[in-house]
Structure 1
């Protein structure tokens, strides 16, 4: 679990719920041969004109009169004595469809129409997957066979049930970016506690989201609200190590809906700046947390709802304070976050007349040491 750094209450457990647009914590519902013919030597020495001399082909050999009387042939049609049968007559007739059947089903059922056999419509086989070979299997009732063919995919891809996809070492697909195992235009998501491929979302990491599958591939729509009645969802990255998190920590596990966590699934915290009030989407505020066990590291994340309390307003937790303020001390009061420990006014990141004070245990996140403004 994790605790808010200075609030009186703990700042949310390490288990986060998948985001939904509804008031309840979300539990996800359950592919010429061009023979270079050796150049022929047509030189004059091989076909010399002397071989075909005019004296060998004199006009007396061919006869100057090419008339039919010289050939001794009468080409008159009456001598052919043959009926070429230009009109072959109608095709064989039929009275029943059985007379027309060729015994095959895949090419369609033949019919007898008006005494003439007509071809049938071929049995259609198409699974909509471009990398499968779709064939009709003959039988009393024809069926289809869809055979994946990796040769129809690009290099480094294989044919899956949804189309060509990058070859993947995780089954059926990989959650962490870069994802694999799903077809083009799809994302690997959690369907309940199981992984599945579905149409990829378009909401960027760090933005608010409206549904479990609305984020870009490699991210999940996570409920970051500390108030169950007011859910606020943001797209957070799936991760295996901190290196996947862009300055955040690979920290959160996801509730499996039965009191446990979904195995082998971890989600990043969000790297944001509470003093500058940057890094979080509208409707959320950057808050500093600390691990409650292990290395006890400090980290930031976006949280909701956002309160209205400013300098010295009383508070019970972070959600009572406005963005840029933390709920500090007991009893709690809202104090402005600052990043110029030891300096006053603008140099310390504080209003005029206030100084940026650090803490006994320095709060350092991403190389920045934070304090709060006080007199």
Structure 2
């Protein structure tokens, strides 16, 4: 058996972190000569002629003779050499005059600036993919190319045995990229594994439970799929459970029996879905706009099972019909020509014991419809 699934919602993820730099080289332009260590001399040896008259006011020459112009340094006739350096307290700022003088030739640490004569570091380029477990960095461009961002997964940033994947830290999973059947794996916390067409993907987990109305690929809780259960022109969408076997299905009469149409005449490989457990007599277990019916597998063991279906008609006891969609909830289209007859759950009994009126009997089918130990039938007049 095959069911249709809804078209997918499209998801995108994106984004880009790193950098820092600048410089403030300080070059005074002055080379300070080393101190000249004193050299032992003969006491009578004359001092070397430096070309500069000492400025102390002792009144005694360096060679011991009298100094006729002591205390008059300005009259020495010697001009001190020009160092070529502006004194630091002159009020003149040293450093840069333009941003070009500060540029270190790197892109990722941002463009440096010249402010008040000093180089200021630029603002680093930002690379961020919004995935906590990746190491994000800016890659310097090669000649003539554009800078790029690199995002390297780092499993050490994930807890336990989880690995860093395209959506963040995820548990190791035997299915790629994720497992559809509960308990799911392969998707980060807060996300579920869903089908987008025939492709598996991780998406933000939906909240609609099994049997509930749904409206999109990821609107159901993880482990469920939103499918159209109507055979009519108007879609009636319901959350059903993914399964690998009957053990994955919940409730009496629910079997892992459906495959999914791929929209091109085939089926989606490796994907099956449970029927929805419900009660056709009590008319419970299905969403609004759907009714509980009894079905039989078309191949294999030909087992009977329960499921919700749409559309829901208006025919009640004795109304003519062509299929179950012509009958109201709680009624099946039985016999030839078709007649809407009330479901009952005790085939072979007469009266109210089987859910029929006192003047009716619960008639079983030629091939008994037994689900979870209960043989279902339909009510009809008792002769």
What TM-score do you get using the length of structure 1 for normalisation?
0.75
Distance change >3 Å, CA 157–CA 169, structure 1 → 2: same
Q: Within 2, Cα distance between the matches of 1:88 and 1:346?
A: 114
1:318 aligns with 2:305: no
- Once residues 203 and 109 of structure 2 are traced to their aligned partners in structure 1, the CA distance between those partners, rounded to angstroms, is 35
1:98 matched to 2:110? The reply is no
Q: Which residue of 1 aligns with 2:307?
A: 301
**Unaligned ranges ≥5, structure 1:** 1-13, 20-25, 32-84
Q: Quote the residue 1:109 is aligned against.
A: 111
Instruction: Tell me what 1:358 maps to.
Output: 364
Residue 164 of structure 1 aligns to a residue whose secondary structure is: strand
How big is the shift at 1:281? 0.9
Quote how far apart the aligned CAs of 1:114 are: 3.9
| CA deviation map 1:210-269 (0-9, x unaligned) | 123211111111111011x21111001111111111141111111112111111111111
Name which one, 1 or 2, has greater alpha-carbon Rg: 2
**SS of alignment partner, residue 159 of structure 2:** coil
One of 235, 241, 256 as aligned partner of 2:239:
235
Instruction: Please give the residue correspondences for 1:55-70 in structure 2 after superposition, counting only pairs within 5 Å.
Output: none
Q: Report Cα offsets for 1:67-90 as digits up to 9, x if no partner.
A: xxxxxxxxxxxxxxxxxx998988
Using the alignment, how far apart are the partners of 2:163 and 2:8 within structure 1? 32
Query: Given the two structures, how large is their TM-score scaled by the length of structure 2?
Result: 0.73
Is residue 249 from structure 1 mapped to residue 251 from structure 2 by the alignment?
no
* Preserved CA contact (<8 Å) 2:139 2:147: yes
Matches within 5 A, 1:38-53: none
In 1, Cα distance between equivalents of 2:9 and 2:3: 13
1:329 equivalenced with 2:335 (yes/no): yes
Question: Which residue of structure 2 lines up, in the alignment, with residue 49 of structure 1?
Answer: none
Q: Hey, what does 2:183 align to over in structure 1?
A: 178
| 1:349 counterpart = 2:365 | no
Could you say which residue in structure 2 is the equivalent of 1:5?
none
Distance 1:315-1:151 versus aligned 2 partners, 3 A rule: same
- Once residues 369 and 87 of structure 1 are traced to their aligned partners in structure 2, the CA distance between those partners, rounded to angstroms, is 107
Q: CA deviation at 1:93?
A: 2.3
Conservation of the 8 A alpha-carbon contact between 2:170 and 2:188 = yes
One of 182, 186, 194 as aligned partner of 1:189: 194
Question: In structure 1, what is the equivalent of residue 215 of structure 2?
Answer: 210
Q: Which residue of 2 aligns with 1:18?
A: 5
Number of equivalenced pairs: 302
Distance in 1 of aligned mates of 2:171 and 2:90: 60
Deviation by residue 1:121-167 (Cα, 9 ceiling, x = unmatched): 01212111011122233445543322212222122311111111111
Distance 1:155 1:370, change over 3 A: same
Superposition RMSD in Å: 2.4
Indicate whether 1:146 and 2:148 are aligned: no
Q: 2:241, 2:274 within 8 Å by CA — same for their partners in 1?
A: yes
Offset at residue 29 of structure 1 (A): 7.2
| Structure 2: distance between partners of 1:117 and 1:29 | 47
Q: Which residue of 2 aligns with 1:63?
A: none
Q: Is the 8 A contact 1:201 1:213 kept in 2?
A: yes
Unaligned runs of 5+ in 2: 14-86
Give, in whole Å, the separation in 2 of the partners of 1:90 and 1:306.
92
Report if the CA contact (8 A) 1:18-1:28 is conserved. Answer: no
Corresponding position of 2:51:
none
Give distance in 1, aligned partners of 2:120 and 2:274.
66
Question: Is the 1:17–1:27 contact (alpha carbons within 8 Å) kept by the matching residues of 2?
Answer: no
| CA gap 1:182/1:86 in 2 versus in 1, 3 angstroms | farther
Deviations 1:94-136 (A, max 9, x none): 1222321234433221112343312100121211101112223
Q: Quick check: 1:165 aligned with 2:167?
A: no
